Amino acid sequence: MTIRKGVATAIAVFIIDQLVKYWIVGPFALEAKGSVYIVDIFNLTWVENRGISLGLLSADTDLGRWLLVAGTAIIAGVVGWMMTRPGEEGDRLGFAMILGGALGNIVDRVRFGYVVDYADLHFGEFRPFYVFNIADAAISLGVAYLLIRAFWPRREQETSNA
């Protein structure tokens, strides 16, 4: 994947995430509804995530909020830089998904003071994930992609180009 395609992918993830959140917060007004049944295994559920993944490091103060914004921005900057390095063509998709998702969640935290989560996947009472959003899914898929690539045997041509 070229750098241009990686940047386009990150931008696409960011825009899709923000458009869905706009609909969830605005026209659909999920906050007022709390939770909406969609199908047996999926609801839309309003959650204000003031922490990072899995609700860890909750930032309940303005200082905590801005520290999370700064920390996430630094990580997004490092991921963006890694995406542009020569020899990273195969990993750019993962970096792009992480970058787009991180930027989407940063914008939420700056605008609202929390990240808007709404996707509630469950199987009866069993919930394999916390309530999440498109940005979270993109970050998770990007990390999974990079982990698979890290442990998957590389083709000879790919390793000789690095």
Whether residue 133 has pLDDT greater than 90:
yes
Nearest Cα to 117, choosing from 47, 27, 12, 24?
A: 47
Measured CA to CA, the distance from residue 72 to residue 76 in angstroms comes to: 6
The model's pTM: 0.89
Sheet with 35-39: list strands edge to edge: 35-39, 42-49, 115-121
Whether residue 162 has pLDDT greater than 70:
no
Q: So which residues are the catalytic ones? A: 117, 136
- Percent of the chain whose pLDDT exceeds 70: 92
Angle CA(73)–CA(13)–CA(92) in degrees, nearest 5? 75
